[in-house]
């Protein structure tokens, strides 16, 4: 992807439509949404104006697309781009990319910072505005693969493990999961069920049949001892491929090295905790170096940053208070203190 975008030097030749890539010719045909947004000091209004003037686009088109992603361009126009939350940065970059109606759309984890509702809106916009474009997607989310592509190339530790039809790839990685509560397993049905139901294949119809079979078997086997039952489809890849793939054997020397490393880390932690005092005030944010503990984006603007101090003394930095609140809601850490910071920039 970076070769296509002219971001790295390379050997060999890359062709688009059978012709060697020339950056000056292909630039107007490409749009790109990176996983990690660039930390630009320019305001959002300046960024939009630069892109729209270079690409001869109406600003209104970008504004309308941003609004459909629940982002008000007027509200953020004066703010530095780097001060936005990770989700807002992603929304603006998506709006800029789709407004250009590209022939080649390159997406690197495009929905990593978006909530479920906004991801759905993005999939709809992509189909409306870039459905005819060639799409190159880098992703580990089966939801994105299912919604955006028809051909999958999968890598495992740098090795090619799949190159083929997207539907066949997904069919191998979708399973039916039973979640149930019983008063008693008198017939030993649960004890004899070592894993969730087998993976389903062939799309939604087969998936529905798999759920129906699993539900019927549970009801027949457990009867009135069944207290509660939920049957749903799951992505086996996201569950570590517990059902689809047999466990890998780890060489003994790797296990020994891991045990030694864990022992050293545990010793260091004990020493540090013994000498550590919990910080009682806001600590300096290393602007442009420290990543937000929630969205993993580099903290762009100290004036909007926030911090949490856990009961273990860990100081967590956040791009903005919204990221801190989402982190609290999702992780629920034991908090010793919190605050906002206007710390001076360090090395940025």
Q: What one-character-per-residue DSSP string does 87-122 give?
A: HHHHHHHHHHHHHT--SEEEEESTTTT--HHHHHHH
- pLDDT over 50 at 246, yes or no: no
The answer on 74 and 131 residing in a single domain is yes
pLDDT given at position 265: 74
Predicted TM-score (pTM) of the model is: 0.55
CA end-to-end span of the chain: 27
Confidence of residue 348 (pLDDT cuts 50, 70, 90): very low
Same domain, 41 and 130: yes
Same domain, 130 and 21: yes
> 82 and 27 share a domain?
yes
Q: pLDDT at position 53, please?
A: 92
Domain membership flag for residue 152: no
Report yes or no: 125 and 71 within 8 Å, Cβ to Cβ: no
Same domain, 34 and 131: yes
Q: What is the DSSP code (8-state) at residue 303?
A: G
Comparison of pLDDT for 198 and 38, the residue scoring more = 38
Same domain, 129 and 47: yes
Reported as a single tens digit per residue, the pLDDT across 296-338 is 777 766 666 777 777 777 788 877 777 787 788 777 777 655 5
Q: Name, in order, each residue with C-beta under 8 angstroms of 239's C-beta and a sequence gap of 6 or more.
A: none
Give whichever of 32-36, 64-68, 270-274 has the largest mean pLDDT: 64-68
Regarding whether 256 and 186 lie in a shared domain, the answer is yes
Q: What is the CATH number of the domain that holds 45?
A: 3.40.50.300
Query: Could you give the CA distance from residue 273 to residue 265 in angstroms, rounded to a whole number?
Result: 12
Same domain, 110 and 31: yes
251 with 305, same domain: the answer is no
Q: Cα torsion for 93, 97, 99, 105, to the nearest 10°?
A: -150
Look up the domain containing 183 and give its range: 173-264
Whether residues 316 and 259 fall in one domain: no
Q: Supply the pLDDT for residue 191.
A: 58
pLDDT band at 249 (very low <50, low <70, confident <90, very high): low
Residue 216 is assigned to a structural domain of this protein: yes
State the total domains in the chain.
Answer: 3
If asked whether residues 21 and 93 sit together in one domain, one would say yes
The helix-helix angle for 86-99 and 116-130 (nearest 10°) equals: 10
In a domain? residue 238: yes
- Counting every residue written for the chain, the total comes to 348
Last residue of a domain, one of 204, 236, 264: 264
CB neighbourhood size of 148 (10 A): 22
Task: Answer with the residue of higher pLDDT: 109 or 235.
Answer: 109
Q: 227 vs 110, which has greater pLDDT?
A: 110
Give all strands (DSSP E) within the chain, no chain letters: 15-16, 19-20, 30-33, 104-108, 134-138, 151-156, 159-165, 174-182, 226-235, 306-310, 315-318, 335-340
Q: Which of 200, 232, 264 is the last residue of a domain?
A: 264
Task: Say yes or no: 125 and 216 in one domain.
Answer: no
Q: Which residue in 246, 326, 245 sits closest to 293, CA to CA?
A: 326
Q: pLDDT digit string (tens) for 125-147?
A: 988 888 888 888 888 777 788 77
With respect to residue 164, please indicate whether it lies within any of the assigned structural domains.
no
- pLDDT recorded at residue 14: 83
Query: 43 or 249, which is more confident?
Result: 43
Query: Phi and psi at residue 76, in whole multiples of 5°?
Result: -110, 0
Would residue 33 count as lying in a domain? yes
Quick: pLDDT tens for 83-132. Answer: 999 899 999 999 999 999 988 899 888 888 888 888 889 989 988 888 88
- Among candidate residues 211, 232, 264, the one where a domain is terminated: 264
């Amino acid at each position: 992807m970076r070769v296509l975008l002219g971001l790295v030097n390379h050997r060999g030749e890359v062709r688009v439509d059978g012709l060697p890539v020339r950056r000056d010719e292909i630039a107007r045909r490409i749009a790109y949404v990176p996983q990690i947004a660039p930390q630009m000091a320019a305001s959002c209004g300046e960024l939009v104006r630069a892109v729209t003037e270079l690409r001869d686009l109406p600003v209104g088109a970008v504004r309308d697309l941003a609004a459909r992603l629940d982002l008000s361009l007027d509200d953020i126009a004066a703010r530095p781009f780097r001060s936005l939350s990770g989700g807002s940065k992603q929304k603006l970059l998506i709006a800029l990319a789709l407004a250009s109606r590209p022939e080649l759309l390159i997406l690197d984890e495009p929905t990593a910072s978006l909530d479920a509702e906004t991801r759905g809106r993005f999939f709809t916009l992509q189909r409306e505005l870039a459905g005819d474009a060639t799409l190159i997607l880098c992703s580990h989310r089966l939801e994105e693969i299912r919604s955006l592509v028809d051909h999958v190339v999968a890598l495992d530790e740098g090795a090619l493990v799949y190159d083929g039809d997207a539907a066949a790839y997904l069919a191998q990685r979708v399973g039916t999961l039973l979640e149930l509560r019983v008063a008693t397993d008198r017939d030993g049905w649960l004890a004899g069920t070592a894993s969730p139901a087998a993976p389903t294949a062939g799309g939604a119809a087969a998936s529905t049949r798999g759920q129906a079979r699993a539900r019927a078997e549970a009801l027949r086997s457990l009867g009135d001892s069944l207290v509660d039952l939920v049957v749903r489809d799951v992505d086996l890849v996201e569950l570590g491929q517990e059902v689809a793939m047999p466990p890998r054997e780890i060489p003994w020397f790797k296990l020994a090295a891991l045990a030694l490393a864990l022992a050293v880390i545990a010793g260091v932690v004990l020493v540090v905790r013994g000498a550590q005092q919990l910080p009682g005030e806001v600590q300096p944010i290393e602007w442009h170096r420290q990543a937000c503990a929630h969205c993993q984006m580099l903290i762009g603007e100290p004036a909007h940053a926030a911090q949490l101090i856990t009961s273990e003394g860990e100081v967590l930095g956040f791009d903005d208070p919204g990221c801190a609140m989402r982190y609290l809601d999702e992780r629920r850490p034991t908090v010793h203190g919190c605050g906002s910071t206007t710390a001076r920039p360090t090395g940025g």
